[in-house]
Structure 1
């Protein structure tokens, strides 16, 4: 019984409610007339004339109470696509300093510095007569020999540091004998030391700068021709010297 009563009340609430609403502005309602009244000789009623309330129809407006039609809350929709990123904001204030870290392990030791020095100075205390067509001039006195790059047994300087070198050779000629020598780089003549036979002995000198590569050899060679070739010295004084040193190492 209660359910039937509740259903009846719901139906009554859904029915449209007719409420007479007066015309807007408070004007008098317009008289109703048939569309063909003026054809039968009756004059059309003028605006604002009242002929009685029997032909006046009320204006009908429908009103529905929407609060009783509200349903249950629906499910939440899908998340929309994110919008564009906004502009970069101003930098924040600097945070507090963190705690001091622990000391790291020591790294491996570096390579030892490369030796960029090269120099030698040697001499000869004994005279020498050439016996072969070509003959290396060897030395018996060592003044300077950094790193042992000059071989006293062969009379040759071996390049261990590539770069530009300065070389100088000094000799004493022998009376009435020719003096003919070359400063050699490997197997090629670079500079000559020459003195013609003379009744007087003299000192002769020659110097040259050479660019050397690793493994190059520089030495002094005696050159024998038809005449006897010789250099003079004695057991007391040094008359013959050969010197060389590195001016600048090559760029790596």
Structure 2
């Protein structure tokens, strides 16, 4: 029987031939003649038991050496394979991080089928638009300011739900940003009248009515659109002390009115 043993990249062959009496003798494949003669002489001088033990010991040693060499070779191959896999994994990660060029936009797909009708949602709260409005008039027989720059105090409230107009000062204070319209309707009697519509101390518009000793009262009206932000104030102011012909009676009134046209609240909460 022929036994091949791998050792350090070389192959050695051993031939095993049966000897007389059932014993086995391990011989090297194709050794030199003088070595074969020496081995035969030694074997002839050695007892059968010693020959068998030596052969088995040599065979086990050769097999152990071959197995060790094979294990080392296998381990080295596994290490190289693991290292190659690690390099490949790292390269794949690097390549995945790279962004390629944007591809051509694909064709528009067919329109899908309509989905099922959803359940009816809960009823939400009704939104309330911001509000701001007032109207006030002069009381009968009210003594008007005679000093230039004084605000005319329209002291009798007709409407002031948001409380934006103050009867003590005669001024409207803005709370909701937006565009407002203000109007003044005056009854002129016993004297000429000139007043200004003011915003934060600046004249917006001026109005004048001459009184020519007419037997009956006359009228003077004016109005203006104003853009306001919270904190702005608007009022009616006397322009000249001698032109103070505001008049009010049971049959005729002098009024100051203002209201919000539209607000500029963006993403605001609901205002009542």
Decide which of 233, 238, 245 is 1:230's aligned counterpart: 245
The 5 A counterparts of 1:20-35 are none
Once residues 8 and 228 of structure 1 are traced to their aligned partners in structure 2, the CA distance between those partners, rounded to angstroms, is: 149
Q: Which runs of structure 2 are paired with 1:23-102 in the superposition (5 Å)?
A: 71-72=66-67, 73-75=70-72, 76-77=75-76, 78=79, 79-82=82-85, 83=88
Structure 2: runs of 5+ lacking an equivalent: 1-18, 33-61, 94-126, 267-272
1:247 is matched with: 261
Given that residues 158 and 216 in structure 1 are in contact (C-alpha distance below 8 angstroms), is that contact kept between their aligned partners in structure 2?
A: yes
Question: Which position in structure 2 is the counterpart of 1:156?
Answer: 171
CA distance in 1, matches of 2:253, 2:178: 29
**CA shift for structure 1 position 8:** 6.1
Shift in CA distance, 164/9, structure 1 to aligned 2, threshold 3 Å: same
Shift of 1:228: 4.6
Partners of 2:211 and 2:30 in 1: CA distance: 148
- The answer to whether residue 139 in structure 2 is matched with residue 125 in structure 1 is yes
Tell me the equivalent position of 2:59: none
From 180, 188, 199, the equivalent of 1:165 is 180
Pairwise CA distance, 1:169: 0.6
Q: Deviations over 1:134-192 (max 9, x none)?
A: 321112321211321110111100111122111011000014x1101111112111111
Shift of 1:213: 2.0
Q: Does the aligned pair in 1 maintain the 2:187–2:252 contact within 8 Å?
A: no
* Match of residue 9, structure 1, among 19, 26, 34: 26
Q: Is contact 2:145–2:152 with CA below 8 Å preserved after alignment?
A: no
Q: Where do 5+ consecutive residues of structure 1 fail to align?
A: 17-67, 87-112
Aligned to 1:139: 154
C-alpha contact (below 8 Å) 2:155/2:170 kept by paired residues: no
Q: Normalized against structure 1, the TM-score is what?
A: 0.57
Structure 2-normalised TM-score? 0.54
Partner of 1:193: 207
Name 1:206's counterpart in structure 2. 222
Give the structure 1 partner of residue 48 of structure 2: none
Inter-partner Cα distance in structure 1 for 2:236 and 2:210? 18
Give the superposed CA RMSD: 3.3
Larger Rg: 1
- Structure that is richer in helix per residue: 2
